[in-house]
Amino acid sequence: MDKSSPNKAGFIAIVGRPNVGKSTLLNKLIGEKLSAVTPKSQTTRHKILGILNGENLQAIFLDTPGLMTKPKDRLDEMMLNSTSETLRDADLILWIVEPYEVEAMPVQLKESNKEAIVIINKIDLVDKLSLLPLIDGYQKTYNLTEIIPISSKKGYGCDILLEDICQKLPEQSFFYEDDIVSIQTERFFVEELIMEKIYFLYRDEVPYSATVQVEEFKERAKGKDYIRAIIYIERDSQKAILIGEDGRGLRRLGEAARKELERTRGRPLYLELYIKTKKNWRKNEGLLREFGY
Which residues make up the interface to Mg ion (CB under 5 A)?
22-23, 43-44
Among 11, 34, 43, 273, binds ligand GTP (CB under 6 A): 43
Our CB check for Mg ion shows the closer of 65 and 99 to be 65
Query: Would you count residue 37 as binding ligand GTP (CB under 6 A)?
Result: yes
Q: How far is the CB of 44 from Mg ion (least distance, A)?
A: 3
Footprint on residues 184-203 left by ligand GTP (CB under 6 A): none
Query: Would you count residue 122 as binding ligand GTP (CB under 6 A)?
Result: yes
**Is the separation of the CB atoms in 202 and 241 below 8 Å?**
yes
3-class state of residue 56 by DSSP: coil
**Is the separation of the CB atoms in 269 and 209 below 8 Å?**
no
3-class state of residue 216 by DSSP: strand
Query: Would you count residue 82 as binding ligand GTP (CB under 6 A)?
Result: no
CA dist list (Å): 229 to 213, 237, 240:
6, 20, 18
Residue type present at position 183: I
How many angstroms separate the CA atoms of 142 and 134, rounded? 12
How many angstroms separate the CA atoms of 43 and 183, rounded? 20
- Using the contact rule CB under 6 A, the part of the chain among 38-46, 157-165, 238-246, 272-280 near ligand GTP is 38-46
Minimal CB distance residue for ligand GTP? 66
- Strand-by-strand arrangement of the 269-277 sheet: 211-218, 225-233, 269-277
Site residue total, ligand GTP (CB under 6 A): 23
- Using the contact rule CB under 6 A, the part of the chain among 19-27, 81-89, 251-259, 271-279 near ligand GTP is 19-27
How many angstroms separate the CA atoms of 13 and 263, rounded? 30
Query: Would you count residue 39 as binding ligand GTP (CB under 6 A)?
Result: yes
Our CB check for ligand GTP shows the closer of 42 and 284 to be 42
Our CB check for Mg ion shows the closer of 7 and 43 to be 43
Q: How far is the CB of 20 from ligand GTP (least distance, A)?
A: 5
Among 8, 13, 15, 23, binds ligand GTP (CB under 6 A): 23
Query: Would you count residue 108 as binding ligand GTP (CB under 6 A)?
Result: no
32 Cβ contact partners less than 8 Å away, ≥ 6 residues apart: 50, 181
Residue 39's binding partner out of ligand GTP, Mg ion, none, with CB under 5 to 8 Å set by partner kind: ligand GTP
- Strand-by-strand arrangement of the 8-16 sheet: 48-54, 57-63, 8-16, 92-97, 116-120, 147-149
Q: What is the DSSP letter of 171?
A: B
Q: What residues line the site for ligand GTP (CB under 6 A)?
A: 18-24, 37-39, 41-44, 65-66, 121-122, 124-125, 151-153
